[in-house]
Amino acid sequence: MLPKRHRYSLLSLLAGMIAIGLSLVTTSPSLAHWDDLAAAKLVVGDTEVQMTLTYPTRLTAFADDDGNGQLAVAEIDRHQTALQAFLGDRIALKDGLNRLGSLQVQSGEAFASPMLSAAPDSHSTLQLTYRWPDAMQGLVMNYTLFVPNAPEASCLATLVQGNELTTHVFTPQQPTFALMPGGLRFGAGTWLLPLIGAFVWGAVHSLSPGHGKTLIGAYLVGERATPLHAIFLAMTTTVTHTLGVIALGLVTLLAARYILPEQLYPWLSLISGSLVIAIGLNLLWQRRRRTTAVISGQVHSHGHDHAHAPHAQTHPHDPGHVHHHCHDAGGDRHHHPSHSHAHHPADHVHTHSRHTHSHLPLTTDSTPVTWRNLLMLGFSGGLVPCPAALVLLLGAIALGNTLSGLVLVLAFSLGLASVLTGLGLLLVYARQVFQRIPTPRLPLMQWLPAISALGITVIGIGISTRSILQIF
């Protein structure tokens, strides 16, 4: 079995390769999804359903005569017939008797949701009215108005019937929603369904590009981290993400006239990238210093000798280090070089002959994993809010139910946290499998921890460069 230093060096190389590869093939988090999202508010009556729809304007580019990214009242009037035919095929509402409602399209500027102020150059708002000749018995909605080749596209729909309310997320994989004849029955017991839906949506959405998975994966694979570290890192990312969504939602509502979220995203990404660079450079400095010491022979094992029997033996004392006991053949007298320490299965520091070392969880180059690095990495991974969660919050605010929006965002973030925590624990426990893989004894192996840290730095430089290009 190879020394642990070589086994963890291989893990560092794998971490660096994975981190750099994922950073090159993944799209920019948050900004990549904004133009694919839509929001709808449906008010269900006895014989009609009124829908206020905010959607990506490029889906109806044929009606955007001036190409400004928004449909004006005059453009809607000129293309009303074409819009009704186009939207009627993609947003179909049927009653319990399988009868299609007749559709009328009007401008929805007077009913524009907060999402429109957050993305005024990419989304438009329409007022869609579906009517039936007599009272409806149930409602079935089929929504397929999605941007082509965008599997992460979605529409957050809020349905209101009297004093009852519920939400549903339409996706290309789940385009249908049914409303029973008895109504929404939205009470305390029915809160469970929206909460589960928001939780699942957050978990599924976390699998899309971004959300700090690259950095979390690179760090946990490249470090001798513990399950507690994995949970702490994922929860830090999630808490930062949740607070960022709430803060950006407040900015959207209170300061949309002066600054737009789409203008803030590049700056937040720049801060995130700068933090990643700082983490990478810190790790690079630590690992390079340690690697240089190993190569120059300054790092050696600690031991002590003593004698009290006519034989020599070597045996282990405590997990993490070995004491070599050399026994003289002639007597009971023995000698210990100055050495004091306390053995404990947990973390501790002790000294052998003026050499001090720590038993904190170690990195690939035998330096302790620091909570500061974990905190900074989690903060940088969750700093840029996810537009999907922002739409969830703004949709609830548009209905005057801010508290519900905050609760749903919390459920969304918990779903996000569950996936990130699961990923972190999987990587930590999978390391035990990699430890059994033999690795060659090559001089280059000594430099692999530094190469892994360099990979994290490269990711930060990439994030920062992309943000600077978006700003300027």
Cβ-based neighbours of 332, under 8 Å, separated by 6 or more: 307, 308
Name which residue leads in pLDDT, 149 or 460.
149
Mean pLDDT across the stretch 147-154? 83
Reported as type and span, the H/E element at residue 44 is strand 37-44
Q: What is the pLDDT of residue 224?
A: 60
Name which residue leads in pLDDT, 53 or 151.
53
Q: What is the pLDDT of residue 109?
A: 65
Question: How many CB atoms are closer than 10 A to CB 151?
Answer: 12
Q: What is the pLDDT of residue 28?
A: 44
Q: What is the pLDDT of residue 48?
A: 93
Q: What is the pLDDT of residue 75?
A: 93
127 pLDDT band, cuts 50/70/90, is: very high
- The one-letter code for the residue type at 265 is Y
d(CA 150, CA 35): 10
Assess whether pLDDT exceeds 90 at residue 136. Answer: no
d(CA 236, CA 303): 40
Name which residue leads in pLDDT, 367 or 404.
404
d(CA 456, CA 219): 8
Q: Hey, what are 420's tokens?
A: 């990130």
Cα–Cα distances in angstroms (integers) from residue 447 to residues 171, 284, 294, 455, 461, in the given order = 46, 10, 10, 13, 21
Q: What is the pLDDT of residue 374?
A: 74
For the stretch 244-255, pLDDT in tens is: 777 777 766 665
d(CA 384, CA 273): 10
Assess whether pLDDT exceeds 60 at residue 119. Answer: no
User: Strand order in 91-95's β-sheet?
Assistant: 91-95, 139-143, 176-179
141 pLDDT band, cuts 50/70/90, is: very high
Name which residue leads in pLDDT, 111 or 453.
453
Assess whether pLDDT exceeds 80 at residue 415. Answer: yes
Mean pLDDT across the stretch 436-461? 65
Only one residue has tokens 């150059």, namely: 121
Q: What is the pLDDT of residue 462?
A: 79
d(CA 309, CA 311): 6
Assess whether pLDDT exceeds 70 at residue 357. Answer: no
Where do the DSSP E strands lie in 90-235?
91-95, 102-107, 123-131, 139-143, 154-161, 164-170, 176-179
First vs last C-alpha separation in the chain: 53
Name which residue leads in pLDDT, 24 or 75.
75
The DSSP output letter for 338 is S
Mean pLDDT across the stretch 200-209? 74
User: DSSP assignment of 8-21, as one string?
Assistant: HHHHHHHHHHHHHH
- The one-letter code for the residue type at 41 is K
Assess whether pLDDT exceeds 90 at residue 93. Answer: yes
Q: Name the average pLDDT for the chain.
A: 68
d(CA 158, CA 304): 72
Assess whether pLDDT exceeds 90 at residue 445. Answer: no
Only one residue has tokens 């999804």, namely: 33
Provide the CA 89 distance to its chain's centre, in angstroms: 35
Cβ-based neighbours of 403, under 8 Å, separated by 6 or more: none
What's the pTM?
Answer: 0.46
Assess whether pLDDT exceeds 60 at residue 324. Answer: no
Mean pLDDT across the stretch 456-462? 76
CB 4 within 8 A of CB 434: no
d(CA 187, CA 435): 53
Q: What is the pLDDT of residue 108?
A: 67
Name which residue leads in pLDDT, 407 or 427.
407
Q: What is the pLDDT of residue 143?
A: 96
d(CA 108, CA 372): 49
For the stretch 211-220, pLDDT in tens is: 555 556 556 5
